């Protein structure tokens, strides 16, 4: 049940994000400057970070799942 | 670690991709000229270079209009990436757009294509070749510095392979679904589910990285590009696969129905990602009627990193899939033991 609620919340958030970005006409200046500066290298940094964060988050969920399995094994006689 | 050679290979490939993909410099290029219109008569403008070496050796500059060249007066070098060009624009350019070229001893000939606009055209000029003879010393691997993309061309190794990885896992999923249809195996059904779950992770990464890249190069987080909308629809189709599974309580019935749905989902994914974008114009390269690889502006330096990147990320995705599937198998075994 808890998982279903969390998933639903995530879905709503995912749906709301583009709606928000469509309404946005301009990002803050410092952000644009950082992303466009030095030949736009920071965009690459952000993209690589997103990939690493995504894989890290996936490892966390796998870790939790395995932890739950281990606990179940232990609690069983 | 028996049979773990491909995992070691994956790590080595991705290590190579990260090091070479991020360390290789962009080739020298001109990125900006201080004026954008020229008219007959003397004109002086500053040019801005990127990774150029104006201070090393002599610098020659010229304008080029429809193949005809106009040599500049001696170039005033301000810095490695800045120089002032003075040139007398003649009457009678044949085309409205003129390029500026610079030749340096270290970088060779580099151009800012279609940098200037001229009004009032004529029948051509008496052009003279301006490019100095002799060799230049550009050495080592360098990625092309393409307009607008600039350094973000490196995202080719981190955004595009996400979709290759997703499609590889979807292929595993459809193969497992076919196994379900042939044998009714619940194990294969579980593997198909694991593959879809893991591939959605890579789809999410592909969407997020693509959105960021689009913001910086195309100017919007989301454009109504056929490939973007196709990938979004694909993700929704596979989300529906998960919903469908959740709605059927009987395990055997669920396995069969999900397998049938998955075969259709795979066909739709191929249509949405491979066929439809090629039929219309798209901001993505290699679309609008052409297969991706022949027209994609991949020069050999990009290929040297891109192909290992595709292999490496597919390897990582398969690895992630096996981990998910093994965990799910343990989970299923634990549940069986529990039910007994």
Same domain, B159 and B274: yes
State the complex-level ipTM.
0.83
Predicted pLDDT of residue B102: 92
Range of the domain at A12: 2-75
Predicted pLDDT of residue B34: 92
Q: Which residue has the tokens 């958030």?
A: A13
Same domain, B299 and B223: yes
Is B127 a member of any domain?
A: no
Which pTM value belongs to this model? 0.84
Predicted pLDDT of residue B117: 92
Predicted pLDDT of residue B244: 94
Same domain, B295 and B181: yes
Picking from B248, B261, B263, B62, the residue whose alpha carbon sits closest to that of residue B175 is B263
Domain CATH code at residue B49: 2.60.40.10
Contact residues, chain B, for A55 at CB < 8 Å: 201, 205, 316, 320
Structurally, how many domains does chain A consist of?
Answer: 1
Same domain, B158 and B96: no
Is B139 a member of any domain?
A: no
Predicted pLDDT of residue A18: 53
Structurally, how many domains does chain B consist of?
Answer: 2
Tokens of B114: 């279609």
The answer to whether the beta carbons of residues A53 and B205 sit under 8 Å apart is no
Range of the domain at B186: 150-339
Q: How many CA atoms lie within 13 A of B55 on its CB side?
A: 6
Is B124 a member of any domain?
A: no
Q: pLDDT digit of tens for each residue in chain B (340 aa)?
A: 567 899 999 999 999 999 999 998 888 999 899 998 998 899 999 999 999 999 988 889 999 988 889 999 889 999 999 999 999 998 888 889 999 999 988 888 899 998 999 887 888 888 788 888 777 777 778 888 887 888 888 999 999 999 999 999 999 999 999 999 999 899 999 999 999 999 999 999 999 999 999 988 888 888 888 888 999 999 999 999 999 999 999 999 999 999 999 999 999 999 988 888 777 777 777 655 554 444 445 678 888 899 999 999 999 999 999 999 999 999 998 888 777 7
Phi first, then psi, for residue B33 (nearest 5°) are: -125, 145
* CA dist., res. B240 & res. B85, Å (int): 61
Predicted pLDDT of residue B141: 83
Last residue of a domain, one of B117, B139, B166: B117
Judged by CB atoms closer than 8 Å, whether chains meet at B221 and A54 is answered as: no
What distance in Å separates residue A25's CA from the closest CA in chain B? Answer: 9
Judged by CB atoms closer than 8 Å, whether chains meet at B204 and A21 is answered as: no
Higher pLDDT among residues B276 and A61, named by residue:
A61
Picking from B163, B166, B192, B319, the residue whose alpha carbon sits closest to that of residue B256 is B192
What distance in Å separates residue B311's CA from the closest CA in chain A? Answer: 16
The answer to whether the beta carbons of residues B300 and B141 sit under 8 Å apart is no
Q: Judge residue A28's burial from the number of C-beta atoms within 10 Å of its C-beta, 0-12 exposed, 13-18 middle, 19 or more buried.
A: exposed
Three-state secondary-structure class, residue B105: coil
* CA dist., res. A76 & res. B50, Å (int): 65
Q: Binning pLDDT at 50, 70 and 90, where does residue A8 land?
A: low
- Residue B73 CB: number of other CB atoms within 10 A? 13
Is B132 a member of any domain?
A: no
Which residue in A39, A62, A69 is closest to B50 by CB distance?
A: A39
Same domain, B228 and B107: no
């Amino acid at each position: 049940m808890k998982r279903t609620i969390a998933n639903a919340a995530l879905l709503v958030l995912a749906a709301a994000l583009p709606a928000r970005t469509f309404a946005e006409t301009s990002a803050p200046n410092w952000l644009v400057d950082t992303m466009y500066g030095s030949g736009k290298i920071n965009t690459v940094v952000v993209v690589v970070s997103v990939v690493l964060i995504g894989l890290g988050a996936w490892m966390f969920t796998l870790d939790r799942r395995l932890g739950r399995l281990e606990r179940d094994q232990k609690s069983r006689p | 670690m028996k049979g773990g050679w491909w995992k070691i290979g994956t790590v080595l490939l991705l290590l190579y991709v990260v090091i070479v993909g991020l360390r290789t410099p962009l080739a020298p290029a001109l990125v900006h000229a201080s004026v954008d219109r020229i008219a007959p008569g003397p004109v002086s403008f500053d040019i801005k270079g990127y990774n150029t070496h104006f201070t090393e050796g002599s610098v020659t500059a010229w304008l080029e209009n429809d193949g005809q060249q106009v040599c500049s007066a001696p170039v005033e070098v301000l810095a490695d990436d800045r120089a002032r060009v003075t040139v007398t624009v003649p009457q009678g350019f044949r085309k409205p757009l003129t390029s500026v070229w610079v030749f340096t001893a270290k970088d060779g000939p580099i151009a800012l294509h279609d940098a200037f606009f001229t009004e009032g055209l004529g029948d051509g000029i008496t052009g003279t070749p301006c490019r100095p003879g002799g060799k230049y010393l550009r050495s080592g691997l360098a990625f092309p510095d393409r307009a607008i993309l600039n350094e973000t061309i490196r995202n080719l190794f981190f955004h595009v392979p996400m979709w290759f990885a997703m499609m590889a896992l979807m292929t595993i999923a459809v193969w497992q679904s076919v196994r379900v249809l042939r044998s009714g195996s619940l194990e294969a059904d579980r593997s198909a589910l694991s593959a879809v779950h893991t591939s959605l992770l890579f789809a999410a990464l592909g969407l997020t990285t693509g959105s960021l890249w689009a913001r910086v190069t195309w100017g919007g987080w989301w454009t109504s590009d056929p490939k973007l909308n196709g990938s979004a629809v694909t993700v929704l189709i596979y989300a529906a696969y998960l919903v469908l599974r959740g709605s059927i309580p009987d395990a055997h019935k669920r396995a069969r129905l999900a397998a049938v749905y998955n075969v259709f989902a795979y066909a739709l994914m191929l249509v949405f990602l491979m066929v439809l974008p090629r039929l219309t114009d798209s901001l993505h390269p290699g679309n609008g009627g052409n297969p991706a690889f022949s027209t994609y502006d991949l020069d050999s330096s990009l290929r040297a990193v891109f192909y290992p990147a595709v292999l490496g990320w597919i390897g990582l995705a398969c690895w992630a899939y096996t981990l998910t599937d093994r965990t799910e198998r343990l989970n299923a075994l634990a549940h069986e033991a529990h039910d007994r």
